[in-house]
Structure 1
């Protein structure tokens, strides 16, 4: 017989259950679960500036499923990891909106890595673990850049791989600054550095500078640094031996450098000026930290002069001002090569550490207050920018209307303001009927609008043109008894093969910016273009960019293809001698 106490008093949860309920790891798991649910549905996103940048992931994923290997079989502006992660996630969630898939796919890599950081930090402080995890989740979940490139609110469909680099640098910074367990530190640093290399090479350069700072300060011991370096080299060796991916990737980087031969100094100044709201308080913080730790730094230098050793070197360089300066320099170098990013978010774990340590150890209260205020001033701009942009875009989308389409699959899961949808349709008519005017713009080397590719009406009209072109392609195939197996679009991006379940030509670059990202066509590229069944030429509007692209590829199309007018907004080069399909009706 049970006593009253046995029946009425609930059993107390075990200590393990309480720890699990309080653990930041549970929050991480819940967020990942929610994102998986959201990707199970097609959630339309408000169209935004340079929205077509993320269509590159669809092109790359379609090529990968066709057996093509990034850098080996086609030129890419960045590393292959993001494309492979997107391809895998799209296979799991075929109905996921492409922008969300591209933005969240990196969590397949950063999720486990930040979990390693949390496992170590929560042993000492659950609050500190949450303080590291929460900003990471904000930046990873909200697919927005910290900078503004257009006055109207919309989705940031561009600079995704730059955001991914910043999120990886955040994990790396959190590990270098906060993780004490040597094995977890080596695993996190090696994983983050390998991922940085295969996302964007400039991210690996920035990460290397951060690791060198940690090594000089003694936070990344020699054996740990060697172990992490050997792990990264092992990953690179496996990829190279398997399919030559590393050497091909480096060859692409060298080709990009040959195209982008501008001076580095203006880019560095531009990166600094664009992020002045964050860098000014960070610079002031450096001055305050230098002044408050000057005596300790001087003493460390004296000891280093008397008895040089690794420990003495570590004490000398393990100064807050050196940490912050090194991280800022790494960030400026990375941002000098970017358009769109979550700039300097990786400063947050360091700023958190500096504020905590200074408040705990500062000799004077004013110095501690100054450090805390300046650290907060440097940390807030990226957080507030991403939060504000996401709120503006998603709340403002309440009055948007869906973009009607027939052939765009999840690519068409977008919405736009009614007045901009109407403007897009009107401009398409003007582009088609007043073509001579836009030919004049192109001939003069000017776009019709300086912000043409950021204009929402251009991005909406571009999707409408693609939708119409697919109707025309299918009608042409039926009427001529043909099937275009390889489709090439002489434009920045080529979603046609994915939309029509066809193939893209091998060797041809994705992200076709002729002024920054397209090297001169070699023999393989020319042969692939000549063998393409059809090459599409957008004409609404004709632009100097597309005319430049056409001039690169036209020699490969002139002899074996015939130019036709496909729609009012697309011309096409159809390969001569295409044979009718076996089941053609006539």
Structure 2
């Protein structure tokens, strides 16, 4: 009686084994995520959440025929915006942070499935050890560093998350893939994606590809084929849209705006990520001790008989790969902190364990401890914060709003929600206080933008503005076809079904990402039907944006649209209100927001 169940176990395991195949897991995960995107879920709003709304500004411009980089200035490349716009068409009711986070699976999903499948032919355990951590980081919209203590998600660092997730796939292929076709497909696609999302990631990926070439993980023929494929796609995009040259021009403009030494940024990145950088440094020291004698022998052999084989024998070892991946991770973080920095070091750590050879005893224990210390902190940080956020929001209150659409699919503690509403009223009632703070070049508090109560108050103000615009148009029989906001992001064309003026930067940080406007841009601003200026609160950044575009605004008329918003309109619209020109003197309020 006891033999039958025992005998049936191996058969049951054989039946379950195909379900653990990467070619099954990845499509199944994508199908589940697609179902979730069909549901209007909410997420607990977190630090710098308004970074997310840049994607709506970009998508609205793309839908109206504008090309990123060509028709509007972008802080990064166009691919992330294109992916979001495509997914927005497919899932128009989706929670936007989940939508932008999961849109990258269009690129990374098939590639990681192919790499893991290639590895799976040799070792199922190794394939899953590569695949499962990747899926955790790809699915969860959580950064590895925390900027706010209450449970919440991260709507910022999205570009950085995307490039590190792509780099994870590239490193996994360079280290573990054996199929030349898979290797070629991964290198071409990931390097294109890195270039078209954020060029910092492209340089990091290039460094790792050079290491792979020196280590003979890829040969010269495959490298040339990958380079040719990469250049052909870019040439096609340039001939079709002219987007590549425009993107390179944007990069040059951003470099001119951010002329700082890299060394302090490397030190900053190392300190921020010391949780994993410290163990990585110790691990490299351990590997140097364990492998140093052989490295010296291989270096001598290379000196005596230079050649590709002897160079590969020196380069293709865990110490070199870990050093290259660590440097690449630091370089990525020098350009913008936040995201999932260092996650793509995991495949080379896995390689170090897989190639441990005859190491045993205390040395093996040290190796295991340091690999765990360098890999587990961020994995546990992301999963723990995500669990805390999605469980914690069970008792959270959803943001109320009549005009926010998908932007309003957020929640937060009722006390924070109430505080945001109270502060919005104070911002509107006492503008002189916040104007004085802005004039001094300061914020009301040093961490204003990373606090969810500010993000909520800003969304409440956006809701107020949309209602006020609708009321204004109905009362005065006008329609604003183009809308601009003198603010970091401009969601109003999206929310109202209008267009944004051409040439204007999205993600408008005037201190880092808005070049001085030329005559064409000033002309575009002057021709804009409605230019909004936020007053809840007044900030130095918004005042600097207004100063940048002041020559064009002088031709428009300033009105008070609502307690939280001033606006600049064409003189013919102002004539219907009987208001004076903004350049001629003080203006009386023309309209208050209707309840």
> Structure 1 residue 19: deviation in Å?
5.6
Partner of 1:343: 341
- 1:468 and 2:457 correspond: no
Q: How does 1:374-385 map to 2 (within 5 A)?
A: 374-385=370-381
Report the secondary structure of 2:196's partner residue: helix
Please say which of residues 78-87 and 302-311 is displaced more in the overlay: 302-311
1:284 equivalent in alignment to 2:279: no
Q: 1:397: Cα distance to partner? A: 1.0
Instruction: Tell me the residue number matched to 2:44.
Output: 46
Match of 1:396 among 389, 392, 395: 392
Please say if 1:148 is aligned against 2:146: yes
- 2:259 corresponds to 1:261: yes
2:550 matched to 1:571?
Answer: no
How has the CA–CA distance of structure 1 residues 443 and 363 changed in structure 2, closer, same or farther, with 3 Å as cutoff?
closer
Aligned to 2:77: 79
**What is the alpha-carbon distance in structure 1 between the residues aligned to residue 575 and residue 34 of structure 2?**
44
Kindly indicate whether the alpha-carbon contact (under 8 Å) linking 1:147 and 1:341 is maintained by their aligned counterparts in 2.
yes
Given that 1:297 and 1:319 are in contact with CA atoms closer than 8 Å, whether structure 2 keeps it comes out as no
Instruction: Provide closer, same or farther for how the CA distance between residues 18 and 427 of structure 1 changes in structure 2, counting only shifts above 3 A.
Output: closer
Change over 3 Å in CA distance of 1:59–1:16 after alignment to 2? farther
Q: Does 1:445 align with 2:441?
A: yes
The 5 A counterparts of 1:172-183 are: 172-183=170-181
Q: CA shift at 1:368, angstroms? A: 2.0
Query: Residue deviations 1:171-223, cap 9 Å, x none?
Result: 00100110011111111111111100001000001111111111111112111
How much does 1:22 deviate? Answer: 3.3
Q: CA deviation at 1:15?
A: 12
Query: Which moved further from structure 2: 264-273 or 63-72?
Result: 264-273
2:534: which partner in 1? 538
Match of 2:519 in 1: 523
Mapped to 2, the partners of 1:103 and 1:317 lie a distance apart of 35
Q: 2:134 aligns with which of 136, 151, 154?
A: 136
> For 1:456-492, what per-residue CA distance to the aligned partner results, in whole angstroms no more than 9, with x for missing partners?
1111111111111111111111111100000001100
Aligned to 2:5: none
Q: Is the counterpart of residue 478 in structure 1 residue 474 in structure 2?
A: yes
For 1:220-278, what per-residue CA distance to the aligned partner results, in whole angstroms no more than 9, with x for missing partners?
21111111111111111111111111110010000001111122111111101000010
The CA distance in 2 between the partners of 1:214 and 1:16, in whole Å, is 36
Tell me the SS of whatever aligns to 1:547.
helix
Secondary structure of 2:549's match? helix
Name 2:581's counterpart in structure 1: none
Give runs of aligned pairs for residues 49-448 of structure 1, distance below 5 A. 49-358=47-356, 361-448=357-444
- 1:579 deviates by 11
What displacement does 1:363 show? 4.2
**Could you say what secondary structure the match of 1:572 adopts?**
strand
Unpaired runs of 5+ residues, structure 1, are 1-9, 582-586
Deviations 1:4-33 (A, max 9, x none): xxxxxx9x9999976632312211111111
Structure 1's 580 and 499: CA in aligned 2 closer, same or farther, altered over 3 A? Answer: farther
Relative to structure 2, which stretch is displaced further, 288-297 or 499-508?
288-297
Q: Which residue of 2 aligns with 1:3?
A: none
Q: What secondary structure sits across from 2:401 in the alignment?
A: coil
Whole-angstrom CA distance in 2 between matches of 1:544 and 1:197: 33
Q: Give the match's secondary structure for 1:537.
A: strand
Which consecutive residues of structure 2, in runs of 5 or more, have no partner in the other structure? Answer: 1-7, 577-595
Distance in 2 between the 1:22 and 1:393 partners?
A: 28
Cα distance change on mapping 1:481 and 1:29 into 2, 3 Å: same
In 1: Cα distance, 2:337 partner to 2:501 partner: 28
Where 2:531 maps in the other structure, the secondary structure is strand
Secondary structure at the residue paired with 1:37? helix
Contact 2:435 2:539 in 1 (8 A): yes
Alpha-carbon offset, residue 104 of structure 1 = 0.7
Contact 1:480–1:580 at 8 Å: present in 2 too? no
1:365 Cα offset (Å): 2.6
Matched residue pairs, number? 568
Residue 557 of structure 2 is aligned to residue 562 of structure 1: yes
CA contact (8 A) 1:343 1:382 kept: no
Q: Which runs of 4+ in 1 moved over 6 A?
A: 12-18
- Whether 2:6 is the aligned partner of 1:25: answer no
User: Structure 1 length normalisation: TM-score?
Assistant: 0.94
